[in-house]
Structure 1
Amino acid sequence: MKPWLGDEEARAAAEAVASGWVAQGPRVAEFESAFAAYVGAPHGVAVSSCTTALHLALHLLGIGLGDEVVVPSFSFIATANSAVYVGATPVFADVEVADGNVSARTVEPVLTDHTRAVVVVDQGGMPADVQPLRELCERRGIALVEDAACAAGSRYRGAPAGGQAALAAWSFHPRKLLTTGEGGMLTTSDAELAVRARRLREHGMNLSAADRHQSRQPVIESYLEVGFNYRMTDIQAAVGLVQLGKLDAMVVRRRELASNYQEALAEVPGLRTVQDPPWGESNFQSFWVELRDDYPLRRNELLTALADEGVSARAGIMATHRQPAYAGHAHGDLTTTERLTDNTLILPLFHTMTEREQQRVVTLIRRAAGLRAA
């Protein structure tokens, strides 16, 4: 992945610096409104990362010690960490083989009387089928939080993915399409939760630093509850606003590149490419392939073969339950998670990728399978 950054972002950041307002301020407020409008969410709260957005979401729900939060093991470790941050116990659910996402089918077996929330991840930008999950959670009185870290620009049932969630967390890390360097967003349909989230990200203060500094009268703030320092800077937001204007073009280009991969690799025996699900369209934040038993090389062998030729691919999504930090945590059957973790790899895909670069990747994969170049 290479972020699509250029002179326009550099100018926007420089203008923020020259303005003298570099911490959280007017550009953050503008970015919040613009991003929320883009994804179709009523409220946006900019924060320092997707991880802090997930933490805030569970904190806002009052989840804590003795509660269980169902999460996919097939996800970056931050998804599970957010449950631990509030004192809850993460319980790992398996995923569907086609899209790598949890579903109502995989979540229901691990629900207990202690389950307070389910975190569904749109893995690699692939939109999860959230409606059946939402119905399952509503029947059981369980909150559903969407980890939409990778999903900006993806679509679910004709609408932007993540926008209809009661609480959704987004990432602007450089591996995502829209980047602010580091940074994240919490979107919500609940106005009161949005107000409280803005307070909590700024140490629990009853008014923002921007409000304080813009007042013509002396203002003595108060701290209504214990909060956090989860703010985004105006420099980051300035870059984010430019990136947001480029997001549609990024999605179009990435889907073109994904389609090229799907077509070029379709006849390779023992290899499966990720595809759009019936209910949505991916932004293809990650393009992954699964190697089956009849592919001549194992995953790590193919990664080495690509690296030897100067192609930077990556192992597929991690299985969090295998990490030492989560040894012994409760989980259901994780057969699919382990299959995908062991046998998938993520191929290079970025906005400025050329036809020649992509053909090189395809040729190496076909050669490893004993096929001629396409």
Structure 2
Amino acid sequence: MSRLNVMQPWLGSAEVEAVTAVIESGWVAQGPRVAEFERLFAAQQQAEHAVAVSSCTAALHLGLLVAGVGEGDDVVVPSFSFIATANAATYVGARPVFADVDPVTGNLTAETVATALTDRTRAVVLVDQGGVPADLDAVRAVCDPRGVVVLEDAACAAGATYRGRPVGAGADIAAWSFHPRKILTTGEGGMITTSRADWAERARRLREHAMSVSAAARHATVLASPEEYAEVGFNFRMTDLQAAVGIVQLGRLPEVVARRRELAASYAKAIHEISGLRPVTDPEHGTSNFQSYWVEVGDDYPTDREGLLARLAEADISARRGIMAAHRQPAHAHVGAHLPVTDLLTDRTLILPLFHQMSESDQARVLEVLRHDR
């Protein structure tokens, strides 16, 4: 029996042809394909502006910078997230303040955010964990009157919906990931979407060393005008090679999400009949793309999370421990936090295999192990 991976990107000949065309064009750095990818992604997500960058971490970093977050500010973040969410606050000189999450969705709520706000809070990073949409409107109702910016960390959420619209459509600013674990991938890469032209314009400069004229614009002229650097910027560019893959992947997104939701429904139907396991589900306010299909292992299941992971590994099935808790990592342990729900979910959840090419027999292998421990 072959190994069953937790995730597998869906890439094919169309991506190969797109990359080949870029190579043959002679322009492989940030250029026309990146601009096209930005335009198409903004349209897909119903956003005013999109700025492609090298990673979602870079998108979070620039997003906080253009929103005016800096030294001495507090940024409320979930600990129940990949560590990049908290790291981004430290990059701009701010202090991450950890808030707890909802026990069902794994997302921040208006209540948990309100508890974590301080007099120095300048921003909240609201994560759509595993592709489950967070309740943006409820959190903004707490933050907007206080002048606190809500940056939506939609790293996992391409293809998810919130109140009938694409996730991120109602955010002032959002950050996206195209890592291979995500359902829309460019290998590495990220995107900022925003409703504010001034934020988008500054992000475009900052991603390219804060040059006053982009490298693509300079290359388009025989005698390039001299550039200026008004502030310290970064090298956070996406290449046209990556963007070419992203354009193809974006066209596949509806099909990929539909397949993932079909597989998630099959998982849920079977797991609901297994005592002691609770699968992730859609919240009332939206639909998940099920970028990560996680399950909570309860007290009445015959083994704990670690035992179940071991049983899956014995069957050559690669599952993963659930979302990490950043406040328990040495890098952020000095911040301090009492987060009982985060601790519980971090210790009791695991991510099951789910990918577009997954067959019924693949899924049956996973479910057989889950039932065997019953």
The interval holding the TM-score normalised by the smaller chain is over 0.9
Query: How many residue pairs are counted as aligned between the two chains?
Result: 368
Q: Which residue pairs with 1:261 in the alignment? A: 267
Candidates 79, 83, 96, aligned match of 1:90:
96
**Structure 1 CA distance, aligned partners of 2:128 and 2:370?**
27
Q: CA deviation at 1:139?
A: 1.5
Aligned equivalents of 1:299, 1:275: Cα separation in 2: 19
Aligned residues of 1:90 and 1:330 also touching (Cα < 8 A): no
Number of the residue aligned with 2:343: 338
Q: Which moved more, 1:340-349 or 1:217-226?
A: 217-226
Q: Displacement of 1:63 after TM fit? A: 1.4
Verify the 8 A CA contact 1:155 1:280 in the aligned structure 2.
yes
- The counterpart of 1:323, out of the listed 322, 329, 335, is 329
Partners of 2:118 and 2:335 in 1: CA distance: 15
Partner residue of 2:15 out of 9, 23, 34: 9
Partner of 1:372 in structure 2?
Answer: none
Paired residue for 1:55?
A: 61
1:273 aligned partner, one-letter code? P
Tell whether 2:276 aligns with 1:270: yes
Distance 1:317 1:295 in 2: 20
State the partner residue of 1:363: 368
User: Is 1:79 the equivalent of 2:63?
Assistant: no
- CA-CA distance at 1:219 after TM superposition: 1.6
Please give the residue correspondences for 1:34-45 in structure 2 after superposition, counting only pairs within 5 Å. 34-45=40-51
Tell me the secondary structure at the aligned position of residue 335 of structure 2: coil
Q: Which runs of 4+ in 1 moved over 6 A?
A: none
Please report how far the alpha carbon of residue 106 of structure 1 lies from its aligned counterpart in structure 2 after TM superposition: 0.8
- How far apart, CA to CA, are the structure 2 residues paired with 1:132 and 1:265? 31
Please state how far the C-alpha of 1:216 moved relative to its aligned partner. Answer: 4.1
String of CA shifts for 1:4-56, please: whole Å, max 9, x gaps.
00111011111111111000000000000000100000000000000000000
Q: Distance in 2 between matches of 1:244 and 1:141?
A: 34
Look up the equivalent residue of 2:359 and give its one-letter code. T
DSSP-derived class of the 1:146 partner: strand
2:28 aligned partner: 22
Alignment of 1:222-261 (within 5 A): 222-261=228-267
Aligned partner of residue 17 in structure 2, secondary structure: helix
1:163 to partner: Cα distance = 1.9
SS at match of 1:246: helix
Aligned partner of residue 116 in structure 1, secondary structure: strand
Contact 1:49 1:185 in 2 (8 A): yes
Instruction: Note the residue ranges of structure 1 that are not aligned, 5 or more in a row.
Output: 370-374
Superposed CA deviations along residues 233-273 of structure 1, whole A, max 9, x for unmatched, are 00000000000000000000000000000001111011101
| Deviation, structure 1 residue 225 | 1.4
- Give 3-state SS (helix, strand or coil) of 2:209's partner: coil
Q: Secondary structure at the match of 1:54?
A: helix
Tell me the secondary structure at the aligned position of residue 295 of structure 1: coil
Task: Determine if contact 1:122/1:151 at 8 Å carries over to the other structure.
Answer: yes
What amino acid is the match of 1:124?
G
Which of the numbers 145, 165, 173 marks the counterpart of 2:171? 165
**Matched residues in 1 for 2:67 and 2:200: separation?**
12
